[in-house]
Structure 1
């Protein structure tokens, strides 16, 4: 693929508001004496990889209430009474509503339209009250809020609309005269008090039908109607993202084979249909979200394209490939359905780029955007577990799109993990097919990110480019962000291969969390950036245009043999374990338990229900996850572990642990994981997991398996029923000191970026290789305790801007412990 287009839009540096007179961030003399010594050598005469404007972007998915109750500014929850048990087992059409009097949700010929099926029939003298999101409807004193409702009513009907909390009114009561067929009615509130616990109520004097009950803040992002929540949109804009990937990952491709069928009559569509998300909001469908709630589609494809344009980002939509991923394994054999989705993708390109005289371009123009959006990239599929089936369908998408739109770049993917059989097969097929770009996803421990800075050093420079579409270390503490920063220096060094990268997920409502960690957190009245957000913002605002080659000394590696106790666990599964033996390398028996008596040698550290039954240790709770029990000495090394295991019932297989230090640090062999589709060795480090080895395979119920694990030094060999299953050596160092140097061509500055992810300051000799530079550098530093976490009320991870006056061709700088530091040095 040709290199991405370039502008100077994003090369704005640390900002004109940098505190240039602040003192330099240097440790105290006492700390300096304890500093570790490093060197950084820069070669300004050499040319590294060019960095495209779209190097870093954001990945948006409707997870953790990221849309309704989040970025979409609507304050009323379940505004069109469409909540259903299809969304969540606890939902009804009146979820988040309280009725006083005669109120009934109906789905009949009196509905507002065919897409908006449900409506509320309200009796004379009755009312309904909406609870909003989180603690309620949030309003701020002096600000305006626009109410609207679609109503059908008898002549002389008055709708009384109130906004109040437990302490009383939050605004003046509004009365709306309604009569006749369905019609939209509006009113405006001006809040007289600030409250996070507001309630919106609608009462009627006569029988009336209501739908699309809405309350929007007037002050949306850029003042747009049907707009976005301002504080969240501005936090995303402040990242200066080069691209916006939407509308999600798993919610895109799951359910894509359960589409609407005219033969079966109307039904809720299970997959994400972009055409359902455009046009007047009252005519858009709602849908069950993969993550367990309802999505209204008020925030739809038009709004995504508009938002990308507003923040100057390249739009990158993702469409389903008719092969499920995200722990599911299914590929469509319905050729007509596949062709329909391909045509939908062609129509999407026309909607984005077509002239206003085209069918879909006209729909875009009708919505208020006559000018094309300039779509250049589309992702097809997401985390498919069936790479061969996926590639066959991807090729059909590509052939159809290339025939009509040869300039569109199609993005393929490599499955849900950073390695393993699926990953390797997917990459082989992508290379053979000559795809332009491959989307990689992985969520790993901080240690993995510190160990894998060189991941892309060995990638084929002439092969497909990489879109790192989802990545994060498993946590929102500063240590997680530090490890990601260290990894990002490797992404930039390999910018000729990794051309797009985005942390994920982007947003999380603190009261509705399906996935953690997340970049930006919020509730109904406030939002805050995580430590990870601050790292992403620093890199995204100071990327540079080209890598200036540099090298650095490393940290002396300290390693020894794998040590630890042993453990047994299950995940949503009942299993029985027997004949556990641990034997040292010289034949000494360290542990032997046939459970003929009790289980007193075992310590229960997780959930679940363990008991000795019929001479075996049995876990019976099929809902419990990670039911770990452990035995032995954390200092054990060089041993053989034998276990007999039998699955009794449930979704998965066995988890046999070794090298167990504590509840957050261990290895385990996960047999029959991921809904009993594959097995892997995972390493837990400070609670975060990384996959070291993986293979496809499942575990049979009722069959006894012999499991043997041989630990020698840092080498581990695994045997299943006497046959070697696999082996690995865990000897890669987790380097805490990483650097990258880039050049901002617009300002002529060198940007020296250093990550010091250790508790010791790093006293560093910097050699700029003869570059002529000014004596002062602008400095931005992020530094905090490794366990620090940003919250609504406390943000210990905050950028500090300063100047450093000791810059020369060769100079020394001490980088604080647990820090990310950017020095912008002007060249003369």
Structure 2
């Protein structure tokens, strides 16, 4: 399954796993080589057990076996900010040793047999260097002064000792927010060659942001979209990813690398969804997103061409006009008093652990105000306020301390798939016996959230239309002339005919992913559809039929 993806590269060991749950849990590559029974086992931040049976040697060999470049990720001298007590930096008096470990990893990959770690690689059975070219430094880190100091020291050492390595920086966990903004400022100041953006979003966000890369400076640091997925294993998510990848292909001067994440998940042993490939002890279950990635890997181009789409209308986005206000707290017992909904008093309420929540009343999601005092009585985390209709219609959920009890965040659900809409914003958390006064106001697209009089969220919901039908065209040299690689996404309920206007007679070899509805496909299950092969020809260009909810990659010869 991995080889059939035709991957350009494989990122390892992952994201938060690399910088660890505290400094003692940072991933150290030297613990993962040598006899398997001697390797240092550990837990990781996602609560998995790491046997280290697949370590750095096996990783490099896997990349070699499938023809992929290796992109290892090392901690930037700090642990994950979601560790107990927050982000901690490697102490100053230990930084030289830590930097040397990073340089030793490069030597293990690239050094000759006369070097210490090149000799170790040869001793382990691989005398030839692996030809490492990239090294990621950091992952989704909070952009603090100590992060910037440690990152700069590591990158400076890499540039001096390993000029063949392109360092990859990091700009936070999301395509917006404080760490994203601060990370990009830091990257430009240092002229970091490539930075790792992450973008887990729902399908609507992807269809609304196909022009995102047009705003990036092609002369600045390049983008590695190191982690992204459209938050489900449904067909609609796979097609949204296909549309977004088509947009990335149009801007190769900005987007240098991209990788769906996570790549693999064992059924019954996963803390994160969605994943590209599910597997058990007996079978491999590729998702619909897998077949999208496969199509991009199998057919590539050398040149990008501008595309004009005629007869395509974008899908308008509107706010719902009726819904409900619901309070819930999945991991805590919370009492709500002094509740007023649109100025009217509502009886006191109490939510319990794993309960169904409490419905407060009907609202107009374009003109609503809710306030109350919340007091946690027991449990972990905090509470949520859902405002809007039931799925698949759009709604927002305001979360107070629902993840690690450290943040407030506004999430949005469209087509039954959630998305972070604003935040997370650091917060003191909800603690037993300590009341918090909350007010939420919806005014058209504007969302405002207060806690104890502090305005924590104030933003406009994105009402730009969705680009559900999109195309991209590449070309490449081939025997007998030029071939065109055409990507076509139809994420609508009606069939389309795409006419590819090339001069004279033309033929097309088409790989088509079609035949399922937008909400077919489940987590941990194989894709409800697999690609089929078709052909087409025409006397003046070629017509390609696109069923509803389909993705086609066509190789066109004129």
CA contact (8 A) 1:743 1:749 kept: yes
Distance 2:553 2:216 in 1: 27
Superposed displacement of residue 792, structure 1: 9.4
1:368 corresponds in structure 2 to 125
2:238, 2:160 → 1: CA distance? Answer: 43
Confirm or deny: 8 A CA contact 1:634 1:660 kept in the other structure. no
Report Cα offsets for 1:252-275 as digits up to 9, x if no partner. Answer: 1114512xxxxxxxxxxx332211
Aligned residue for 1:779, secondary structure, equals strand
Greater displacement, 497-506 / 689-698:
689-698
Q: Which runs of 5+ in 2 are unaligned?
A: none
Aligned equivalent of 2:489, options 755, 777, 780? 755
Query: 5 Å matches for 1:466-545?
Result: 466-545=223-302
The structural deviation recorded for 1:558 is: 3.2
Matches within 5 A, 1:56-75: none
Deviations 1:784-819 (A, max 9, x none): 22222279997531111111122624x554321000
Q: Distance in 2 between matches of 1:464 and 1:534?
A: 30
Alignment check: 8 A CA contact 1:706 1:720 kept = yes
Which secondary structure does the structure 1 equivalent of 2:159 belong to? helix
- Aligned residue number for residue 245 of structure 1: 11
Asked whether the equivalents of residues 664 and 688 of structure 1 are also in contact (C-alpha less than 8 Å), the reply is no
Please point out which of 196, 220, 241 is paired with 1:439: 196
Tell me if structure 2 keeps the 8 A contact 1:237–1:311. yes
Q: CA RMSD in A?
A: 2.5
Structure 1 residues 793 and 334: alpha-carbon distance in aligned structure 2, compared to 1, 3 A threshold: closer
Deviations along 1:644-691, one digit per CA (max 9) or x if unpaired, are 323445553442222243488420222335423332211022442222
Tell me: CA distance 1:561–1:444, structure 2 relative to 1, closer, same or farther (3 Å).
Answer: closer
TM-superposition CA deviations, 1:495-546 (whole Å, max 9, x none): 2111110111111111322212111111111112111101110111113122
**CA-to-partner distance for each residue in 1:161-216, whole Å, 9 max, x for gaps?**
xxxxxxxxxxxxxxxxxxxxxxxxxxxxxxxxxxxxxxxxxxxxxxxxxxxxxxxx
Greater Rg by CA = 1
TM-score in terms of structure 2 length: 0.91
Matching residue of 1:148: none
What CA distance in whole angstroms lies between the structure 1 residues aligned with 2:90 and 2:528?
A: 53
Partner of 1:257: 23
Whole-angstrom distance in 1 between the partners of 2:427 and 2:252: 36
CA contact 1:562–1:713 (8 Å) conserved in 2: no
* Distance (Å, rounded) in 2 between the aligned partners of 1:438 and 1:571: 36
Segments of 4+ in structure 1 off by > 6 A? 790-794
- 2:552 maps to 1:797: no
**1:712 counterpart (428, 437, 443):** 443
CA contact (8 A) 2:391 2:414 kept: no
The match for 2:538 is 806
Alignment of 1:276-295 (within 5 A): 276-295=31-50
Contact kept, 8 Å, 2:468 with 2:489, in 1: the verdict is: yes
Structural mapping, 1:83-98, within 5 Å: none
Q: Take 2:547 and 2:260, find their aligned partners in 1: how far apart are those partners? A: 25
- Contact 1:642–1:706, Cα closer than 8 Å, also in 2: yes
Alpha-carbon distance between aligned partners in 1 of 2:325 and 2:544, rounded to the nearest angstrom: 45
Is residue 324 of structure 1 aligned with residue 83 of structure 2? no
Show the counterpart of 1:560. 318
Q: 1:350 aligns with which of 87, 96, 107?
A: 107
Q: Deviations over 1:400-423 (max 9, x none)?
A: 112211231111111222211222
Corresponding residue for residue 146 of structure 1: none
Q: Could you tell me whether the CA contact under 8 Å between 2:233 and 2:521 is conserved in 1?
A: yes
Alignment of structure 1 residues 584-663 onto 2, 5 Å: 592-595=345-348, 617-621=349-353, 624=354, 628-633=357-362, 637-648=366-377, 650-662=379-391
Unaligned runs of 5+ in 1: 1-234, 259-269, 584-588, 596-616
- Superposed displacement of residue 303, structure 1: 1.0
Per mean C-alpha deviation after superposition, the further-off stretch among 798-807 and 709-718 is: 709-718
For 1:693-772, list aligned pairs within 5 A. 693-694=422-423, 695-699=425-429, 701=431, 702-725=433-456, 726-746=458-478, 748-766=482-500, 768=501, 771-772=502-503
Write the distance in 2 (CA, Å) between the matches of 1:753 and 1:803.
15
- The DSSP-based 3-state class of the residue aligned with 1:383 is coil
CA-to-aligned-CA distance 1:8-64 (integer Å, 9 cap, x gap): xxxxxxxxxxxxxxxxxxxxxxxxxxxxxxxxxxxxxxxxxxxxxxxxxxxxxxxxx
Note if contact 1:323-1:386 (Cα within 8 Å) is conserved in structure 2.
no
Indicate whether 1:422 and 2:179 are aligned: yes
Q: 1:472 to 1:428 in 2, by over 3 A?
A: same
Distance 1:576 1:741, change over 3 A: same
- Are the aligned partners of 1:352 and 1:373 in contact in 2 as well (CA < 8 Å)? yes
Tell me: CA distance 1:744–1:571, structure 2 relative to 1, closer, same or farther (3 Å). Answer: farther
C-alpha separation in 1, matches of 2:72 and 2:442: 46
Alignment deviations for residues 128-147 of structure 1 (CA, whole Å, 9 cap, x no partner): xxxxxxxxxxxxxxxxxxxx
Structure 1 position 294, deviation (Å)? 2.7
Higher relative contact order (CA 8 A, sep 6+): 1
SS of the aligned residue for 2:404 comes to helix
- Following superposition, the deviation at residue 759 of structure 1 comes to 1.2
- Shift in alpha-carbon separation, 1:648–1:324, aligned structure 2, 3 A: farther
SS in 2 for 1:340: helix
Return the alpha-carbon distance in structure 2 between the equivalents of residues 443 and 628 of structure 1. Answer: 27
Could you list the per-position Cα deviations for residues 609-653 of structure 1 after superposition, in whole angstroms to 9, with x for gaps in the alignment? xxxxxxxx23343xx5x9643333376542222233234455534
CA distance in 2, matches of 1:718, 1:386: 25
1:169 counterpart residue number:
none
CA–CA distance in structure 2, aligned partners of residues 242 and 388 of structure 1: 34
